[in-house]
Amino acid sequence: MSAVEISPSLMCMNLDKFKEEITFLNEHVSSYHIDIMDGHFVPNITLSPWFMGEVRKLSRLPLSAHLMVTDQTFWVEQMIDLKCEWICMHAEVLSGLAFRLIDQIHDAGLKAGVVLNPETDVTDIFPYIDLLDKVTIMTVDPGFAGQRFLEPMLDKIVQLRKLRAQADYHYLIEMDGSSSRKTFKRIDQAGPDIYIVGRSGLFSLTDNIADSWAIMRKDYEEMTGKKLE
């Protein structure tokens, strides 16, 4: 596996330092993770297409939309209009829609991902797993920052790695939830390609994004024994 990617969860950033933090992170990360919540699929409401447009003004990095929404069709169309590079839908609400929406995303020249809640088994996505560009494993209950890390979910990452190798699938494997010094070693042993970092792993470490990034990088390297590119 190549070096891991770090994708900051922007719902956890300090919005009063929006320009400062995006400008800094542009030089250190390869994408941004943007949570879209509708207050129905999860009880919270967070970021929006408007927010994504504001990020676009300051960055050319790919955006990855995590659609924690009930009406996947409506929000996929919104993301396609924004040319969001990665559109990640929840498996739990894709019955009868998966093939159609994945094809719609690919036809727009964008990448399609699926997200699995902790209670959702990897086998649920077997009918269309060969079409996916990314699979995201939730290692927390979705909807709010700061949830308890659910270590057994790492087994899904191991399972996805084995499936990818056996069947020559092309999806990336992403983990989302409580990625921090306390969990870096266990996550690394499971082997995802992309770490979502949020409040505990990055944005709450200090009041300065450069200092927080330095601490996060040091934490990752000390706990895994690997260099963060």
Cα(85)–Cα(63) distance, rounded to whole angstroms?
Answer: 6
Q: Is 24 annotated as a binding residue?
A: no
Which residue out of 35, 133, 193, 219 is catalytically annotated? 35
| Cross-strand pairs, 87 | 65, 112
Q: What is each CA distance from 170 to 75, 131, 225, in whole angstroms?
A: 25, 8, 27
Residues 6+ apart with CB under 8 A from 222: 181
**Quick one: which of 76, 85, 128, 130 has its CA closest to 110?**
85
Q: Is 109 annotated as a binding residue?
A: no
Which residue out of 133, 176, 193, 219 is catalytically annotated? 176
Q: Is 176 annotated as a binding residue?
A: yes
Contacts for 55-59: CB closer than 8 Å, 24+ residues apart: 55/10, 55/22, 56/82, 58/19, 58/22, 58/23, 58/26, 59/22, 59/25, 59/26, 59/32
Q: Is 65 annotated as a binding residue?
A: no
Q: Is 177 annotated as a binding residue?
A: yes
Cα(85)–Cα(12) distance, rounded to whole angstroms?
Answer: 21
Q: Is 145 annotated as a binding residue?
A: yes
35 is catalytic: yes
Q: How many other C-beta atoms are found inside a 10 Å radius of the C-beta of residue 153?
A: 21
Q: Is 143 annotated as a binding residue?
A: yes
Amino acid at 6: I
Q: Is 144 annotated as a binding residue?
A: yes
By annotation, the residues acting in catalysis are 35, 176
Residues forming the annotated binding site for a divalent metal cation? 33, 35, 66, 176
Residues forming the annotated binding site for substrate? 66, 143-146, 176-178
